[in-house]
């Protein structure tokens, strides 16, 4: 370890900054966040830095550095492009036992500035020992995505009640169990979701009751999106990584599942057409059962929980049993698959509205309101309609939609093996019979599909020439065979 990580309390301490340019400005911003009294010495000081110092009633010295400026200073930072000056400042600081940082010169530093994730009072410093500041910044960016700003408010809440908890719980183990309950349960989640008053009320109640044991857990309905793990929300990822048990459905990709907490129990409760691993009532009961055992339960659903995901039904059951819950939206398949296929769902020149419709008819064609689906300037997206495609196309045409209306099938949208098949209402069923695109698939009907050829950017498009040629042979229309 070249540098020992330390956290300095610099509030109201005297710090000398040598330099007045962009780099000095960045260091000054950081030092002022730590509450220092700053003295800047330089021949020129840029306007923004000057304004910052004037507003804070700090000191600006226009002129040369000399060793006397180190008198009374707690630490010194050199941020110029003058190597000989840096070496002189380093020598003077070492002689006086004052910590010194020389920008971009680790050999002249006795301390370095880490890349910082600031969730005060929680602060994380990341250092490469001066060898690769860019790598440290990249790691900081990764952590920034995993640590929500709510940790700042959570840290402040804990700090306000620390002494009260110490007075209530006599042993270290009791306090540890209590804080684990607070920081990994409902109280923390209340803070993260912006309900700080509720979190504080729960914390006060827990202290008054002396609770360190079993409590009712919580259920998180999490939208897993269409399959690409990079489309998960930060909140979804955080809850997935702290879950005790995860119930997941058939549309959750292996890549998304791999992001769940490593020691969580993963339980498959998926549904395929005519093959339900666990009936919906059974899923509802499992969620209640595990939450009542005090577990943090993630119900991971492909797409969005509230769009053909039966999320509402599950929440009704949880509510009736007094189980606390949260819902994390996910990118629904219609949005994701159309985007990855290069098909805008709305467009000023083609469609001013969009409808999401389930294609699972189950011999209930008469229950589908085709009259609503044939309006012009409208895009219609069918979920789970691959097996009823001929019926859907026929119904739309029967109710007045032109057979020439463009249609696209997007199979395995956002996945590496995504495929797109385009056609019209008149021929899409025949094309699909030949192409045999696999579920999960989405059907998009409307003039916006005509833009796919121009805007496509991801995945493969099915070779329509081969399909058209094959269909012609089936119908006896292939002239080249004569």
The CATH number of residue 105's host domain is 3.40.50.720
Considering the domain architecture, whether residues 202 and 239 belong to the same structural domain is answered as no
Taking residues 9-32, what's their average pLDDT? 96
User: Any binding-site annotation on 333?
Assistant: yes
Q: How confident is the model at residue 454 (pLDDT cuts 50, 70, 90)?
A: very high
The per-residue pLDDT for 328 is 96
Q: Which domain holds residue 421?
A: 352-474
Alpha-carbon distance 378 to 482, whole Å? 43
- Domain count along the chain: 4
Residue 23 marked in a binding site: yes
- Give the integer Cα–Cα distance in Å for 203 and 355: 44
Note the pLDDT of residue 468: 56
337 SS3 class:
helix
Same domain, 462 and 368: yes
Residue 424 known to bind ligand: no
| Phi, psi of 124, rounded to the nearest 5 degrees | -120, 125
Q: DSSP class of residue 10?
A: -
How far apart, in whole angstroms, are the C-alpha atoms of residue 385 and residue 392?
A: 8
pLDDT digits (tens, 9 = 90+) for 278-317: 889 999 999 999 999 988 999 999 999 999 989 999 999 9
pLDDT level of residue 217 (50, 70, 90 thresholds) = confident
Q: Is 304 annotated as a binding residue?
A: yes
Residue 44 lies in a domain: yes
| 363 and 423 share one domain | yes
Among the candidates 209, 227, 258, a domain finishes at: 209
Count of other CB atoms within 10 angstroms of residue 446: 26
275-276 and 353-358 as β-strands: parallel, antiparallel, unpaired?
A: unpaired
Stretch 37-45: mean pLDDT: 97
| The pLDDT value given to residue 478 | 43
Q: Tell me which of 268, 296, 328 is where a domain ends.
A: 328
Residue 327 contacts residue 218 (beta carbons within 8 Å): no
Catalytic residue (choose from 228, 249, 295, 431)? 249
Is position 418 within any domain?
A: yes
Q: Is there a catalytic annotation at residue 295?
A: no
Give the 3-state secondary structure of residue 378: strand
The answer to which of 71-85, 141-155, 362-376, 415-429 has the lowest mean pLDDT is 362-376
Determine whether the annotation assigns residue 207 to a binding site. Answer: no
Residue 236 lies in a domain: yes
Residue 467's pLDDT band, with cuts at 50, 70 and 90, is low
User: What CA–CA distance (Å, rounded) separates 133 from 83?
Assistant: 20
| CATH number of the domain to which 434 belongs | 3.30.950.10
Give the pLDDT confidence score for residue 344 in this predicted structure: 97
In this structure, is residue 8 part of a structural domain?
no
Q: Which of 50, 271, 355, 434 is catalytic?
A: 271
CA pair distance 94, 135, nearest whole angstrom: 29
**380 and 466 together in one domain:** yes
Q: Is there a binding annotation on residue 22?
A: yes
Please say which residue of 328, 360, 395 terminates a domain.
328
**Same-domain status, 171 and 278:** no
Q: Are 197 and 236 found together in one domain?
A: no
Contacts of 271-277 with CB under 8 Å at 24 or more apart are 273/360, 273/384, 273/387, 273/439
pLDDT above 60 for 255 = yes
pLDDT at 85: 97
In a shared domain, residues 183 and 244: no
* Predicted model pTM: 0.70
Answer whether 121's CB lies under 8 Å from 155's CB.
yes
Q: Is the pLDDT of residue 472 over 70?
A: no
Instruction: Name residues whose C-beta falls within 8 Å of residue 79's C-beta, 6 or more positions apart in sequence.
Output: 17, 18, 19, 21, 23, 24, 27, 103
- Judge if 373 and 439 occupy the same domain: yes
Asked if residue 18 belongs to a known ligand binding site, the reply is no
| Residue 126, domain member (yes or no) | no
pLDDT of residue 385: 92
55 part of a folded domain: yes
Burial 249-284 (b: 16+ CB within 10 A, else e): bbbbbeebbeebbeebeeeebbbeeeeeebeeeebb
Determine the pLDDT at residue 482. 24
Cβ-contact 10, 38 below 8 angstroms: no
Q: 99 and 38 share a domain?
A: yes
377 token code pair: 């300037």
Length of the chain: 482
Does residue 131 lie in a domain region?
Answer: no
Confirm or deny that 393 is annotated as ligand binding. Answer: no
Question: Looking at residue 480, what is its pLDDT?
Answer: 32
Q: Residue 479 — pLDDT band, cuts 50, 70, 90?
A: very low
Q: Higher pLDDT residue, 180 or 52?
A: 52
Within a domain: 59: yes
Residue 154 CA to residue 121 CA, distance in Å, equals 9
Distances (CA, A) of 257 to 111, 130, 220, 246, 440: 42, 37, 15, 9, 17
Same domain, 201 and 258: no
- 21 and 65 in a single domain? The answer is yes
Same domain, 178 and 234: no
190 flagged as catalytic: no
């Amino acid at each position: 370890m070249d540098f020992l990580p330390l956290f300095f309390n610099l509030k109201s301490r005297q710090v000398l900054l040598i330099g007045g340019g962009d780099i000095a400005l960045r260091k000054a911003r950081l030092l002022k966040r730590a509450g220092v009294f700053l003295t800047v010495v330089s021949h020129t000081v840029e306007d923004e830095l000057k304004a910052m110092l004037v507003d804070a009633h700090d000191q600006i010295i226009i002129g040369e550095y000399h060793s006397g400026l180190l008198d009374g200073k707690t630490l010194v930072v050199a941020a110029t492009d003058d190597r000989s000056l840096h070496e002189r400042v380093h020598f003077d600081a070492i002689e006086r036992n004052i910590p010194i940082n020389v920008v971009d010169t680790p050999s002249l530093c006795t301390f370095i500035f880490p890349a910082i994730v600031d969730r005060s009072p929680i602060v994380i410093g990341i250092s490469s020992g001066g060898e690769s500041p860019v790598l440290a910044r990249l790691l900081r960016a990764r952590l920034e995505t995993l640590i929500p700003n709510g940790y700042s408010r959570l840290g402040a809440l804990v700090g306000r009640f620390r002494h009260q908890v110490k007075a209530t719980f006599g042993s270290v183990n009791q306090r540890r169990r209590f804080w684990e309950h607070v920081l990994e349960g409902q109280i923390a989640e209340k803070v993260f979701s912006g309900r700080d008053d509720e979190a504080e009320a729960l914390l006060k109640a827990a202290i008054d009751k002396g609770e360190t044991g079993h409590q009712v857990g919580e259920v998180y309905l999490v939208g897993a999106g269409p399959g690409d793990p990079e489309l998960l929300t930060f909140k979804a990822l955080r809850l997935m990584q702290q879950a005790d048990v995860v119930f997941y459905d058939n549309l959750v990709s292996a890549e998304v599942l791999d992001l769940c907490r490593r020691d969580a129990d993963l339980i498959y409760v998926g549904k395929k057409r005519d093959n339900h691993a666990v009936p919906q009532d059974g899923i509802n009961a499992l969620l209640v059962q595990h939450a009542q055992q005090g577990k943090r339960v993630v119900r991971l659903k492909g797409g969005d929980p509230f769009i053909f995901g039966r999320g509402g039904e599950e929440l009704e059951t949880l509510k009736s049993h007094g189980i606390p819950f949260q819902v994390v939206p996910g990118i629904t398949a219609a949005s994701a698959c159309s985007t990855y296929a290069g098909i805008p769902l709305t467009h000023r020149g083609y469609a001013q509205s969009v409808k999401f419709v389930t294609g699972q008819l189950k011999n209930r064609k008469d229950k589908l309101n085709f009259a609503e689906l044939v309006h012009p300037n409208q895009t219609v997206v069918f979920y789970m309609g691959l097996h009823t495609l001929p019926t859907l196309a026929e119904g739309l045409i029967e109710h007045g939609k032109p057979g020439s209306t463009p249609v696209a099938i997007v199979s395995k949208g956002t996945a590496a093996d995504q495929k797109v098949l385009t056609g019209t209402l008149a021929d899409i069923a025949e094309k699909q019979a030949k192409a045999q695109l696999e579920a999960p698939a989405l059907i998009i009907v409307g003039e916006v599909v005509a833009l796919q050829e121009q805007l496509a950017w991801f995945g493969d498009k099915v070779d329509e020439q081969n399909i058209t040629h094959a269909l012609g042979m089936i119908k006896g229309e292939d002239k080249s065979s004569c």
